[in-house]
Amino acid sequence: MGKSKVFIPFAQVINTVSATIQEAYYRIKNLDIISLSKSTVRNWSLRCPLDNYLRLASLFAIGISLSIALAACGSSSASSADVKLRLVSFSVTQAAHDQIIPKFVDKWKKEHNQNVTFETSYGGSGAQAAAVIDGSKEADIVHLALPLDVNKIQQAGLIKQGWETRAPRNGIVTRSVAAIVTREGNPKGINSWEDLAKDGIKLIAANPKTSGIAIWEFLGLWGSVTQAGGDEAKALDFVTRVYKNTSGLTKDAREASDLFFLHGEGDVLINYENEVTLAGQNNQKLPFTIPQFNISIDNPVVVVDKNVEKHRTKEVAQAFIDYLYSEEAQREFAKLGYRSVNPLISQEVTSQFPKVETLFTAQDLGGWDNIQNNFFKEGATFDQIQAKSKA
């Protein structure tokens, strides 16, 4: 006698499949893959002892649940037809990003059939970091003038610790040095850091409380003494005399450049070498000197972890950062005067850049925690210098 067939109402089958899908979803969401592969299939067979057809149906249901769960879990943006990235950066990167972003958008579209749009914001690095911290700018990615500003965002709980380890070159994606820019013919004879302290010199400078270039400028001035063998007392005296030659501090590098280049104010400007290069490409060629004792201006880029989780943009945001390190993107940075962090591109363009005899770093000046505490916190060295220069 043959086996009797078991008839189960169709509604019961549907309910069981639905329960299996729901169970599979929550197991995968919680990364319980092994448990799913064993218990879910076993429970299905106990609930619904049908023939092979229904067993195949159960596997199909699990396949559906896998697709649903993988599409829903994590912060991947692949499930969206379009995705928007919010990029917050310091002022002088805009020209480079204007060239690089469309290339990334085209590349991503070809590889993923997904449209990416960018909402960008440019300004003084310190002010940009503050806006990310207070939530007025919900950046997915920050490309800032110095690691100190990224550290502040990390301390606010928006970026996970160890951000330097999540990208090549310790998270540094662009690099420059300080340039001393003078008027045509250099009538005041300004050729070195030391010349900035001479009487009768008007220096256009930005404020370290809001501007990345201003911090690098300060460190360049300080290090030009200490890295050449001078002590801190000598450095303090020199930097104080330099700031006495400023009539006011701008909020960022762009504003300082506009005052100097467009409005004709001042005798001398300290700026990023790449900004001076860009000005020359825009027919604003003025004489400049690259000091032989110089500061390595290292600009970091990083995903803002809390915001990409909220916006579900982590995958695309990380892909954009990876792209910034590519030969294609680094070549675009180099065209606009940045010293590339990609060794191959750096070798290609080495002849385009003046040689620097002694290139010191923030680490040579004590590292960013010490720099912040010793120089820029409330009441520290910079505030003391400002008080003296206004006296």
Q: Compute the average pLDDT of residues 177-192.
A: 94
Helix (H) / strand (E) element for 367: namely none
Q: Compute the average pLDDT of residues 210-218.
A: 91
Q: Look up residue 121 and give its amino acid.
A: S
Q: Look up residue 5 and give its amino acid.
A: K
Please give the CATH architecture assigned to the domain spanning 82-173+300-335.
3-Layer(aba) Sandwich (3.40)
Decide if pLDDT at 53 tops 60.
no
- State how far the Cα of 321 lies from the Cα of 141, in Å rounded to an integer: 8
| Residue 383: partners with Cβ closer than 8 Å, 6 or more residues away | none
* Same topology between domain 82-173+300-335 and domain 178-295+361-390: yes
pTM confidence score? 0.75
What pLDDT, on the 0 to 100 scale, is given for residue 11? 43
Comparing 284 with 311, the larger pLDDT belongs to 311
Q: Which of 45-59, 240-254, 315-329 has the lowest mean pLDDT?
A: 45-59
Q: Of all residues in the chain, what percent carry a pLDDT higher than 70?
A: 79
The two three-digit tokens of residue 126, written as one number: 């310190």
Helix (H) / strand (E) element for 268: namely strand 268-272
| Residue 255: partners with Cβ closer than 8 Å, 6 or more residues away | 206
Q: Compute the average pLDDT of residues 373-387.
A: 94
The two three-digit tokens of residue 40, written as one number: 């879910």
Domain coordinates in residue numbering, the chain: 10-72, 82-173+300-335, 178-295+361-390
What pLDDT, on the 0 to 100 scale, is given for residue 307? 98
- State how far the Cα of 221 lies from the Cα of 215, in Å rounded to an integer: 10
Q: Could you read off the pLDDT of 332-379 as tens digits, one per residue?
A: 999 999 999 999 999 999 998 999 999 999 999 999 999 999 999 999
Comparing 217 with 72, the larger pLDDT belongs to 217
Other beta carbons within 10 angstroms of residue 153's beta carbon come to 24
Q: Which of 66-75, 130-139, 175-184, 333-342 has the lowest mean pLDDT?
A: 66-75
Phi, psi of 191 (to 5 degrees): -130, 0
What pLDDT, on the 0 to 100 scale, is given for residue 391? 66
What pLDDT, on the 0 to 100 scale, is given for residue 80? 55
Q: Compute the average pLDDT of residues 71-78.
A: 45
Decide if pLDDT at 44 tops 60.
no
Domain 178-295+361-390 in CATH: superfamily?
Periplasmic binding protein-like II (3.40.190.10)
Q: Compute the average pLDDT of residues 20-25.
A: 40
What's the chain's average pLDDT?
83
For CA atoms 159, 162, 166, 172, the dihedral sign is: positive
